[in-house]
Amino acid sequence: MLILKASTGQRWTARRCWNLDIPELGFRSLVENAAVAIATTDLKGRFTYVNRALAELLGYSVQELLGHPFIDFLHPDERGRITRLFLKIILLRRQPRNFEFRALHKDGHDLYLMTKPTRFVVDGKTVGFQAIIVDITERKELEKNLAETNKKLEMLFETTMEGITIVDAKENLTFVNKAFADMLGYREDELVGVNLRRLVDEKSFNEINKQTEYRKKGTVSRYEIIVHHKDGKQRRVQVSASPLWSENGSFAGSLGIIMDITERKKVEDALRRSEKESRTLLENLPQKIFFKDKNSVYISCNGNYARDLEIHPDDIRGKTDYDFYPKKIAEKYRADDKRIVESGKTEDIEEEYVQDGQKAFVHTVKTPVTDEKGNVVGILGIFWDITDRKRAEEELIRLSSAVKMSTDSIVIGGLDAKIIAVNEATLKMYGTDEKKDLIGKNSFDLIAPEEREKALVGMKEVLEKDTTKV
């Protein structure tokens, strides 16, 4: 009876069982129950022996495989190549190296296999082929996935707008992408091998060393440094760095994502200057200014308004009118706010105000603030004290009423002595029903000549007292 025996050269030969140290049944059990697929064929490529592992690998029973050409189980694209290989083994007696090929499972899916077939020799004569077949399908899938992942990473590295760098433990660049090279005006190959010390000033290199110590402890860090462009100009960059570890767990370097923030910093600086200038302007305006959200909650105000409330401007955030005014006034302010938010229209309002615990009057302009989509997000308000004007108006109304009701003749003239108003008693005195007959004339024309000098003296005294009452 013929059985298989492995030699030190991984070649299987036929020997008679009584020449083996292992009993025939034990050796057969070893082959048939092996975890790897084992098979022999005749010179026409027909299976003469397959073990259970090969049958299970292909999805057939042992009986379904025996007697069938192994080529029937290969992928169609592989049949020509494998046939030529076996012809070389027979005709040229060449021993092939390990090679990979595709086979078809019974259900139709591809299998990736690896083998190193050899001639099956009996009594010095080649009677067929023998092979141990290893399933590498899972490995090939992993390699395929890894290749796809590497391709995606490579594409990401090359197309991303952010710079990507890898440095070793001594801060030498071992990899840079195109974006980082472009950022500094170099080619990629000009930067690989360069120490970071050559690209930054001393302050920034000290910061890099400081951050590296954090990464040696496993910490991911983000920081800003100044780097030098090839043309000598400075660029400010933000670095997001992660630690890299060697196979033995020691610190191997850092992976950095680099973002050029030079222009952003310029804009931020300009905004800060603009904000400072705007704040200076707001703080020096005599008007009171505030900003509320759409729920009438204060967000900010200028110093003039804060002084009226006896708070610091920053302390107004989160407060409402109920925190500063009597309930009735607060509810009125909030009702105005709600109306403006709903209508989306600016309003001019004259209303009561409490200042230093005293009732006052203010003129308020409230306008809705919208976002980029046109949605109302808050209210901007500016107001100023009109108490003196309101009191003057009230006094004027009182005087107008008194003038109208008086039975004495009253004439009101300007500084140029021209008449601008007269009452009914004056009209009767001069025998006219039309005010236009008197308005615009010189008031001295209504005074008897002998009384004019006395009238001038009286007007001079009035002017010296800084009053406009006549």
Task: Answer whether 346's CB lies under 8 Å from 366's CB.
Answer: yes
Question: Is 354 within the bounds of a domain?
Answer: yes
Query: What backbone torsions phi and psi does residue 9 show, to the nearest 5 degrees?
Result: -90, 15
Rounded mean pLDDT of the chain? Answer: 83
Are 127 and 8 part of one and the same domain? yes
Are 102 and 200 part of one and the same domain? no
**Closest alpha carbon to 211 in 200, 201, 221:** 221
Residues in a beta bridge with 180: none
User: Which parts of 18-166 fold into alpha helices (H)?
Assistant: 24-32, 52-58, 62-65, 79-91, 137-159
Q: What is the DSSP letter of 322?
A: G
Question: 324 vs 356, which has greater pLDDT?
Answer: 324
Are 78 and 47 part of one and the same domain? yes
pLDDT, mean of residues 80-99: 78
| Res 462: pLDDT | 59
Question: Is 395 within the bounds of a domain?
Answer: no
Domain limit, last residue, from 217, 235, 265: 265
Are 26 and 117 part of one and the same domain? yes
Task: Answer whether 320's CB lies under 8 Å from 331's CB.
Answer: no
What is the count of structural domains for the chain? Answer: 4
Question: Is 276 within the bounds of a domain?
Answer: no
Are 124 and 179 part of one and the same domain? no
Question: Is 153 within the bounds of a domain?
Answer: no
Q: Give me 198's structure tokens.
A: 């050559």
Question: Is 148 within the bounds of a domain?
Answer: no
Question: Is 469 within the bounds of a domain?
Answer: no
Give the least confident one: 40-49, 287-296, 343-352, 388-397. 388-397
Are 132 and 174 part of one and the same domain? no
Task: Answer whether 203's CB lies under 8 Å from 223's CB.
Answer: no
454: containing domain = 402-464
Confidence band for 271, pLDDT divided at 50, 70 and 90: confident
Q: What is the helix (H) or strand (E) element at residue 174, kind and residue range?
A: strand 173-176
**Closest alpha carbon to 120 in 2, 31, 212:** 2
List pLDDT tens digits, range 435-452: 777 787 877 777 777 776
Query: What backbone torsions phi and psi does residue 13 show, to the nearest 5 degrees?
Result: -130, 160
| Res 26: pLDDT | 64
d(CA 133, CA 127): 19
Are 98 and 122 part of one and the same domain? yes
Are 420 and 335 part of one and the same domain? no
Distance of CA 25 to the CA centre of its chain: 71
Q: Is the predicted pLDDT of residue 18 greater than 50, yes or no?
A: no
Please state the pTM of the whole predicted model.
Answer: 0.44
Are 181 and 241 part of one and the same domain? yes
Residues in a beta bridge with 382: 289, 365
Domain limit, last residue, from 108, 138, 168: 138
Are 15 and 129 part of one and the same domain? yes
List pLDDT tens digits, range 343-354: 999 998 887 776
Are 61 and 13 part of one and the same domain? yes
Q: For residue 213, give the CATH number of its domain.
A: 3.30.450.20
Q: Give me 120's structure tokens.
A: 């099956």
List pLDDT tens digits, range 171-200: 999 999 999 999 999 999 999 999 999 999
Are 93 and 220 part of one and the same domain? no
To the nearest whole percent, how much of the chain has pLDDT over 90? 43
Question: Is 154 within the bounds of a domain?
Answer: no
Q: Give me 382's structure tokens.
A: 């500016």
Question: Is 146 within the bounds of a domain?
Answer: no
Domain limit, last residue, from 138, 172, 205: 138
